[in-house]
Amino acid sequence: MGTDTIAAIATGLTNSGIGIVRISGPDAFTVIKNIFVRKNGAAADVEKSHTVQYGYICADGECLDEVLILVMRGPHSYTGEDTVEIDCHGGIRMMRRILETVLTHGARAAEPGEFTKRAFLNGRIDLSQAEAVIDVINAKNNYALRNSVRQLNGRMSEKIKSLREEILYEIAYIESALDDPEHISLDGYREKLQKKLIDIIGQVKILVDSAEYGRIVEEGIRTVILGKPNVGKSSLMNVLLGEDRAIVTEIAGTTRDTLEEQVQFGDISLQIVDTAGIRDTEDAVEKIGVERAMGAAADADLILYVIDSSAALNEDDYKIIDMIRNRKVIVLLNKSDLPAIVDKDSLTAFLGNPASQKVIAVSAKEGTGFDELKKEIQEMFYEGNIHFNDEILITNLRQKERLTEVLESLERVNESIENRLPEDFFSIDLMDAYGRLGSIIGEEVEDDVVNEIFKRFCVGK
Amino acid sequence: MAVLEETYDVVIVGAGHAGCEAALACARLGLETILFTVSVDSIALMPCNPNIGGTSKGHLVRELDALGGEMGRNIDKTFIQSRMLNESKGPAVHSLRAQADKQEYSRQMRKTLENTDCLTIRQAEVSEIVTLPEAGFEDTVMTGKPKKYRITGVKTVSGAIYHAKSVVLATGTYLKARCIYGDVSYYTGPNGLQAANHLTDSLKAHGIEMFRFKTGTPARVDRRSLDFSKMEEQPGDEYVQPFSFSTVPSSVQKEQVSCWLTYTNEKTHEIIRRNLDRSPLFSGEIEGTGPRYCPSIEDKVVKFPDKDRHQIFVEPEGLYTNEMYLSGMSSSLPEDVQHAMYKTIPGLEHVKIVRNAYAIEYDCINSLQLKPSLEFKNIEGLFSGGQFNGSSGYEEAAVQGFMAGVNAAMKILGREPYVLDRSQAYIGVLIDDLVTKENHEPYRMMTSRAEYRLLLRQDNADLRLRGIGHAIGLVSDEEYEETCKKEQQIEEEIRRLEKTNVGVNLHVQEFLLRHKSTPLKSGITLAELVKRPELDYFMLTEVDDERPDLSKEVIEQVNINIKYAGYIQRQKQQVEQFKKLEKKKLDTDFDYRQIKGLRLEAAQKLNMYKPISVGQASRISGVSPADISVLLVYFEKYNTDQITK
C-alpha cells in the first residue's frame, strides 16, 4: 500500500483566506523541491522535519503564488509518510493551479478518503476508527461516483463511450490477428491505424481542454430562481439560457414544476433551476410546485430572488424574504423597463446581510442588467462567497488527470508506429488508453477485448 | 460380496493430455500412482486437430516443459511439420506450432507412461468418488448432507475400490458424452469411444455443480481423393525450433510434410444456408454451449455474411495414414449436406470422407468450485484438470493436468501447493480465469488474456519457470544449472553492451549509413545502437569487436531485453503493483457479511468465491474498487488485532 505519492486540496473550498494543498508519499519531498523556491532562491530544505519555509511555487518559469510550506518527515505526520503541506492563498483558482502543478511533478490526485486510509494503515489512527474509515471511503466513493456520473451526463460521457468503442475496435482487430495470424492479416494496418489515431488524439485533446477549470465543473453552482408568480422568472431563465426553454405566459402560475438547465458564465457553470411562483394556493397541482420550489431553494448554492419592481411587495414577498434571510442571494428587480415602485433602498431594510445579498435591476424584456449579474456571480465565486462541495472539484481534477494519461498512451502508440515497433506493442498502449477512459465513466475492462474479437472478427479453426 | 480393493497414493481418472501429465508428475515425485482410462488404446489421443501449440497454446507447452511436463518432449519426438507463427510481429506473440503424427504421439506418450516407475495403468470406468465427511463439517440441517468432504478413493463400475490420499479427475469430454452427426446422435465419447456415464451422478450427489458444454470437429478425408494442384502449399519452417528446452535443436532438423490451403466460396455458402434448418445447432437440438473461437462453418457463414470465402487448411493426420484434417470446416450438418458442400471447394471436387464431422456434448464442472490449486473447495484431496474443468484444447488440458497432479502430490507430501500467478505464466492466467471468472463456453487460451504478455514470452519460459520446476522436483539439477548459467550469460552480455562505447569513426559511420541509420555525432553505447528501430544485436557484429561466443538463445534474450527495455520496464512496474494485492492473503473460511460497510452484493460474491487473496477478490465481477478498499482496511485491522492478541 501507499508506495506512490498522492496530493489533494486539504481545506474546504471556502472563503478561508488560506488554503492547504497536501502531498504525501515517498516522492513528496522530490515534488516540492521541483516546484518550490525559497525567498533566498534556494530549494526547499527537507532535511529537518517540522519546519516552515517561506517562498514561491514556481513552474515552467512562472511563479504562481507566495506560500508557506510545512515539511514533515514520516512517520511523524498525519499519514505516517513524508508529507508536505503548502499553505497558499485560498481562492479556488489558485489552489487548483497549485494542485495541478503538484500533479504534473510526480504526484497523483488522491482517491476519496485516501489520506485517512494511509493514516490508518500506517498506524496513525486508532484501530477503533477503522470502521469509520470504511464509512468515509464508502460515502466519498458513492458521492464521487454519483457526481462523476452526473457531471458526465450528456455529451462528455457519450463522447468517452464512443472513443472507447473506436479504441476497442482497433485493439480487437490487432488481437484477433495476433491470435489467428492465418486468417487475419495486419498488412497495411499501421498506416490505417495512424490515421485513425490522429483523429482520436484530436478528440481527446478537445476533451482535455474542455476539462479546464470551471468547464468541467458541469454540475456547476446550483442556482435557484425564486419569486412570486408572474414576476418574470421563466422569462429570466430564457434570457440566461439564450433560448425559449421555459414556457412564458401572462397567466400567473404557468410554471408548475421545477425546470433545470446548465448555463456557462465565462469559466463558471451554473445549474439553473426555474421554479413555480410561490404563493398561497388552493390548486393541488400548483401547491406541489410551490413545495418543490421551497425544496429547491433549501438546496441552492445561490438564490436569484426575482421581484417585479413595477408592483408593490405583498405578503408572499415577505414570506420569501423571511425564508432566504441568511442565504446567498442576488435580488433581481425585474421589469426595470417599467416605472419602479420598489427600489434598492426600500429593499435593503428587509434583507439580512448586505454583504452576501446584492440587488441588481434587470429587464428580461429588454435584456438589460445581465452583464452586471454575470459579473456579480463571478465575483462571488472567486471570492469564495459561493462554494459547493469540494469533492466535485477533486473528482474533476482526477478526470482531467486521467484524460491526460489517455493522451500520453495514445501518443505512445503513435511513437511506436513511427519507430516501426511490431503491432502487438500498439495494443499495449491502446489498452492503457481504453482502461483509463473506462475509469472516468466508472466502467471496468473485464473481458471486453475477447468479446469484441468474437463479435467482430471471424477467427478460429 | 467380495470386491477387489487396492491402495495407492494417487488416483488419476482419465488418460488424455491432462491425465497423462498428472500421472507422470505424481509418479516422478515418487508417489504410487494409478491411471484409469476407459481404453488403454486411447491414451493421449488427439481426437480433434492434428497439432500441438499455436498462438498462446505454444506458450503453454513451453511453460509446461520448463516446469517438467511431458508434452513438449513428446511432440518433439513425433512432429511432422513445425512453424513459428507471428514471426513478423513482436517476440511476445511468436508462437510455435507443430503438426503431430497423431498415432505416433499417442504411442510415444504411452511408452513413456509404461516405462515410468510407480505408475500403474488400468482400463476401467471409474463410477464414483469415495469420501468421508470432513471433521467439523458433518451433515448440515439445511441439506441433510455434509458441507465438506475428504476424498478416500474411487470405485469402478465393477465395484472395485481403490483407496487413495489424493484423486485427480481428468475425464475430458467423456462424461455423459453424446456425439451429434446432423440429424442423428449417439451416446459415445469422441471417435465412437465408450462414454463415462456414472461419475456425474456421484459428483452431483456431493454437491458439485455441473455444466453441459459442446465442441466439434471437422471431417477427415482421404488424401488420394484430393487435388493439391488447386491448393496453396504451406511448408514447415526451414529451421525447426524444438518445443522442449531439453531437446537438442539439431535432433529435430528433419524432413517435414506440407499442409495445404484452399477456400470456401459462394456455392459452398449457398448449400449451407439452404440446409440450416437441418443443423442441430440452429434447430435447437444441441443445448450445450459451444466455443466462439471454434465456430462451425455454418456459424461462420451466418455470423459473417459479408465474407465471400473462408480459409480451409488441409492437414495430414500422420505419416502412415491417408487421412487429412479439414481445419476450418467443423460442422454438425447432416452427412449428405457435408458431402455436397465439400465438393464445391477447389481441390475437394472428388473428395472421399473417411470420418464425418460431428459435434460433441459432455458434462463438465463449474470451475468456480475450484481453488487456484485446482483442488475442490468442498472436497479435500480431490483435484481436477482439463476439459472436465470447462477448458478446451490439448495444451490447456495438459497444463491443468500437470498443476493438478503436482498439487495432489504436494498435498500428500505435506508441502504447500504451487499456484502460478498471472504475472508468472500463461498457465497462471488460464487457471486464475477458470477459478475466478464466470465461464460459459469451453475456455481457450488467447494472448489477449495475458496482461503481462511482454514478460510471458515463449522464448523465456525456462528463465521464468525452470526454478519452480526444480523446486517442485521435476526438473533435474543439470537442467536447472543450465538455465542459471544462461541467465548469467544474458546479464553479463547486457552489461557489456551498456558499458561498451562506440567511437565516431569511418567504419561505424559507413556501417550506419549502409543500414539507413543516423550517423553518430559523438560516442554512443552498443546498447543504444541495439535500441534503434532499424538495427539489432545481430547486425552490430560488424562494429562490435569484443563480442563473446554465445548461444543463439542467449543472444535472442539479450536482443529482446535491450530493444524493448522501455516496455519491459513498464510491465515490470505494473507487475509490482499487481503483486501487492496478490500477496495479501485472505482467510478462505471467512464470512464477509461480518464486514460492516461492504456492499451486500460484494459480500455475497466474496462468500461464494472465497478468494485466496485480495488480488483474486479484485478480479471477481461484482466486486468494485471501493469494495477492495474496504477489504484492505478491514483486514489490515484484523491482522493487527491478531498480532496484538
Distance CA B178, CA B215 (A): 11
Architecture of domain A151-213+390-456: Up-down Bundle (1.20)
User: Using CB atoms, which residue from B580, B596, B629 is nearest to A117?
Assistant: B629
Q: Does B584-644 carry CATH code 3.50.50.60?
A: no
Residue identified by cell 451416446 is B187
Which residues touch A59 (CB under 8 Å, ≥6 apart)?
Answer: A35, A101, A104, A105
Predicted confidence (pLDDT) at residue A142 exceeds the cutoff of 60 = no
Say if the Cβ atoms of B307 and A458 lie within 8 Å. yes
Distance CA B18, CA B428 (A): 16
- C-alpha cell of residue A43: 530549494
**A353: confidence class by pLDDT, cuts 50, 70, 90:** low
Secondary structure of residue B258 in the 3-state scheme: coil
Domain boundaries, chain B: 220-361, 481-568, 584-644
Q: Cβ(B281)–Cβ(B359) under 8 Å?
A: yes
Distance CA B269, CA B275 (A): 10
Percent with pLDDT over 70 in chain A: 74
Sign of CA dihedral B542, B547, B549, B554: negative
**Reduced 3-state DSSP string for B492-556:** HHHHHHHHCEECCCHHHHHHHHHCCCCCCCCCEEHHHHHHCCCCCCCHHHHHCCCCCCCCHHHHH
**B622: confidence class by pLDDT, cuts 50, 70, 90:** confident
Q: Give the pLDDT of residue B66.
A: 98
Indicate the pairing of strand B119-123 with strand B33-37.
Answer: parallel
Q: Between these two residues, A260 and A389, which has the higher pLDDT value?
A: A260
Chain A contact probe: residue of B86, B262, B436, B515 with most A CBs at under 10 A: B86
φ/ψ (deg, to 5) at A363: -140, 115
Q: Between these two residues, B271 and A77, which has the higher pLDDT value?
A: B271
Distance CA A136, CA A117 (A): 9
Taking only the tens place, the pLDDT of each residue in B40-62 is 999 999 999 999 999 999 999 99
Distance CA B112, CA A119 (A): 59
Residue identified by cell 466508472 is A442
Sign of CA dihedral B460, B462, B463, B468: positive
Give residues 128 to 157 of A whose Cβ lies within 8 Å of B: 130-131, 133-135, 137-138, 141-142
Q: Give the pLDDT of residue B623.
A: 85
Taking only the tens place, the pLDDT of each residue in B543-568 is 998 999 999 999 999 999 999 999 99
Q: Give the pLDDT of residue A213.
A: 46
- The residues that bridge with B611 in the sheet, in sequence order, are none
Q: Give the pLDDT of residue A216.
A: 37
Indicate the pairing of strand B178-181 with strand B358-365.
Answer: antiparallel
Give me the CATH code for the B220-361 domain, please.
2.40.30.260
Start-to-end CA distance of chain A, whole Å, equals 45
Give CA B594 to chain center in angstroms: 38
Measure in Å the smallest separation between the Cα of A436 and chain B Cα atoms.
14
Strand ranges for B251-399 from DSSP E: 259-263, 311-316, 323-327, 353-355, 358-365, 379-380, 382-384
Return the DSSP state at B82: E
| Single-letter amino acid code for the residue at B345 | I
Domain boundaries, chain A: 6-125, 151-213+390-456, 221-378
Q: Give the pLDDT of residue A117.
A: 75
Q: Give the pLDDT of residue A150.
A: 45
Distance CA A417, CA A423 (A): 8
Q: Cβ(B105)–Cβ(B46) under 8 Å?
A: yes
User: Using CB atoms, which residue from B291, B311, B629 is nearest to A183?
Assistant: B311
- C-alpha cell of residue A3: 508506495
Say if the Cβ atoms of A454 and B293 lie within 8 Å. yes
Say if the Cβ atoms of A459 and B293 lie within 8 Å. yes
Q: Give the pLDDT of residue B480.
A: 97
Chain B partners of A459 at a C-beta cutoff of 8 Å?
293
**A136: confidence class by pLDDT, cuts 50, 70, 90:** low
Q: Give the pLDDT of residue B645.
A: 46
Return the DSSP state at B223: G
Is A453 an 8 Å CB contact of chain B? yes
Q: Produce one character per residue of A237-266: b if its CB has 16 or more CB atoms within 10 Å, e if not.
A: bbbbeeeebbebeeeebbbbebbebebebe
- C-alpha cell of residue B116: 515410468
- Domain B481-568 adopts which CATH fold? Arc Repressor Mutant, subunit A (1.10.10)
User: Using CB atoms, which residue from A137, A425, A450 is nearest to B448?
Assistant: A450
Q: Cβ(A184)–Cβ(B453) under 8 Å?
A: no
Is A123 an 8 Å CB contact of chain B? yes
Distance CA A264, CA A426 (A): 39
Residue B480's alpha-carbon distances to B67, B71, B460, B485, in angstroms, are 10, 19, 14, 9
Measure the CA angle with vertex A82, ends A79 and A85; round to 5°: 80
Residue identified by cell 547486425 is B539
Chain B contact probe: residue of A125, A174, A178 with most B CBs at under 10 A: A178
Chain B partners of A141 at a C-beta cutoff of 8 Å?
626, 629
- Domain A221-378 adopts which CATH fold? Rossmann fold (3.40.50)
Give CA A395 to chain center in angstroms: 6
When the pLDDT of each residue in chain A is averaged and rounded to a whole number, the result is 78
Measure in Å the smallest separation between the Cα of A21 and chain B Cα atoms.
24
Predicted confidence (pLDDT) at residue B444 exceeds the cutoff of 80 = yes
User: Using CB atoms, which residue from A130, A134, A422 is nearest to B90?
Assistant: A422
Please state the rounded mean pLDDT for residues B624-635. Answer: 78
- C-alpha cell of residue B357: 464431422
- The residues that bridge with B22 in the sheet, in sequence order, are none
Distance CA A423, CA A430 (A): 11
Residue identified by cell 560516442 is B523
Chain B partners of A186 at a C-beta cutoff of 8 Å?
89
Count Cβ–Cβ pairs < 8 Å, chain A vs chain B: 122
Give the pTM. Answer: 0.78
When the pLDDT of each residue in chain B is averaged and rounded to a whole number, the result is 92
Please state the rounded mean pLDDT for residues B221-233. Answer: 97
Can you identify the CATH homologous superfamily of domain A6-125? Probable tRNA modification gtpase trme; domain 1 (3.30.1360.120)
Q: Nearest Cα to B95, choosing from B290, B241, B269?
A: B241
Q: Give the pLDDT of residue A217.
A: 45
Instruction: HSE, CB side, 13 Å, CA atoms: give it for residue A161.
Output: 11
Q: How many residues does chain B have?
A: 645
Q: Give the pLDDT of residue B194.
A: 85
**A354: confidence class by pLDDT, cuts 50, 70, 90:** low
Is A432 an 8 Å CB contact of chain B? no
Measure in Å the smallest separation between the Cα of B484 and chain A Cα atoms.
29
Distance CA A297, CA A275 (A): 9
Predicted confidence (pLDDT) at residue A19 exceeds the cutoff of 90 = no
Chain B partners of A175 at a C-beta cutoff of 8 Å?
446-448
Residue identified by cell 471417435 is B191
Q: Between these two residues, B296 and A143, which has the higher pLDDT value?
A: B296
The ipTM value here is 0.88
The neighbour count for residue B235, using CB atoms within 10 Å, is: 11
Predicted confidence (pLDDT) at residue A388 exceeds the cutoff of 60 = no
**A153: confidence class by pLDDT, cuts 50, 70, 90:** very low
Is A406 an 8 Å CB contact of chain B? no
Closest residue in A to B261 (Cα–Cα): A182
Say if the Cβ atoms of A460 and B293 lie within 8 Å. yes
Say if the Cβ atoms of B92 and A424 lie within 8 Å. yes
Is A421 an 8 Å CB contact of chain B? yes
**Reduced 3-state DSSP string for chain A:** CCCCCEEEECCCCCCCCEEEEEEECCCHHHHHHHHEEECCCCECCCCCCCEEEEEEEEECCEEEEEEEEEEECCCCCCCCCCEEEEEEECCHHHHHHHHHHHHCCCCEECCCCHHHHHHHHCCCCCHHHHHHHHHHHHHHHHHHHHHHHHHCCCHHHHHHHHHHHHHHHHHHHHHHHHHCCCCCCCCCHHHHHHHHHHHHHHHHHHHHHHCCCCCCCCCCEEEEEEECCCCCHHHHHHHHHCCCCCCCCCCCCCCCCCEEEEEEECCEEEEEEECCCCCCCCCHHHHHHHHHHHHHHHHCCEEEEEEECCCCCCHHHHHHHHHCCCCCEEEEEECCCCCCCCCHHHHHCCCCCCCCEEEEECECCCCECHHHHHHHHHHHHHCCCCCCCHHHHHHHHHHHHHHHHHHHHHHHHHHHHHCCCCHHHHHHHHHHHHHHHHHHCCCCCCCHHHHHHHHHCCCCC
Q: Cβ(B322)–Cβ(B222) under 8 Å?
A: yes
User: Using CB atoms, which residue from A120, A135, A179 is nearest to B447?
Assistant: A179
Chain A partners of B578 at a C-beta cutoff of 8 Å?
none
The neighbour count for residue B164, using CB atoms within 10 Å, is: 25
Which residues touch A20 (CB under 8 Å, ≥6 apart)?
Answer: A9, A10, A11, A85, A86, A87, A88
Q: Cβ(A319)–Cβ(A229) under 8 Å?
A: no
Q: Give the pLDDT of residue B22.
A: 98
Q: Between these two residues, A102 and A295, which has the higher pLDDT value?
A: A102
Q: Flag the least confident range among A147-151, B449-453, B480-484, B607-611.
A: A147-151
Predicted confidence (pLDDT) at residue B143 exceeds the cutoff of 70 = no
Q: Nearest Cα to B98, choosing from B82, B116, B118?
A: B82
Taking only the tens place, the pLDDT of each residue in A181-238 is 888 889 999 999 999 999 999 989 888 876 654 433 445 677 888 888 888 888 888 8
Predicted confidence (pLDDT) at residue B450 exceeds the cutoff of 90 = yes
Measure in Å the smallest separation between the Cα of B564 and chain A Cα atoms.
9
Please state the rounded mean pLDDT for residues B165-183. Answer: 91
Say if the Cβ atoms of A461 and B294 lie within 8 Å. yes
Q: Produce one character per residue of B185-207: b if its CB has 16 or more CB atoms within 10 Å, e if not.
A: beebbbeebebbbbbbebbeebb
Predicted confidence (pLDDT) at residue A345 exceeds the cutoff of 80 = no
Distance CA B58, CA B404 (A): 20
| Single-letter amino acid code for the residue at A184 | I
Q: Is the peptide bond before B442 cis (omega within 30 degrees of 0)?
A: no
Helix (H) or strand (E) segment spanning residue B222: strand B220-222
Q: Cβ(B560)–Cβ(B457) under 8 Å?
A: yes
Taking only the tens place, the pLDDT of each residue in B8-41 is 999 999 999 999 999 999 999 999 999 999 999 9
Secondary structure of residue B249 in the 3-state scheme: helix
Taking only the tens place, the pLDDT of each residue in B495-537 is 999 999 998 989 999 999 999 999 999 989 999 999 998 999 9
Is A209 an 8 Å CB contact of chain B? no
Q: Cβ(A196)–Cβ(A292) under 8 Å?
A: no
Q: Cβ(A339)–Cβ(A313) under 8 Å?
A: no
Q: Between these two residues, B444 and B596, which has the higher pLDDT value?
A: B444
Say if the Cβ atoms of B449 and A450 lie within 8 Å. yes
Return the DSSP state at B232: E
Chain A partners of B595 at a C-beta cutoff of 8 Å?
134
Please state the rounded mean pLDDT for residues A114-138. Answer: 65
User: Using CB atoms, which residue from A135, A419, A421 is nearest to B597?
Assistant: A135
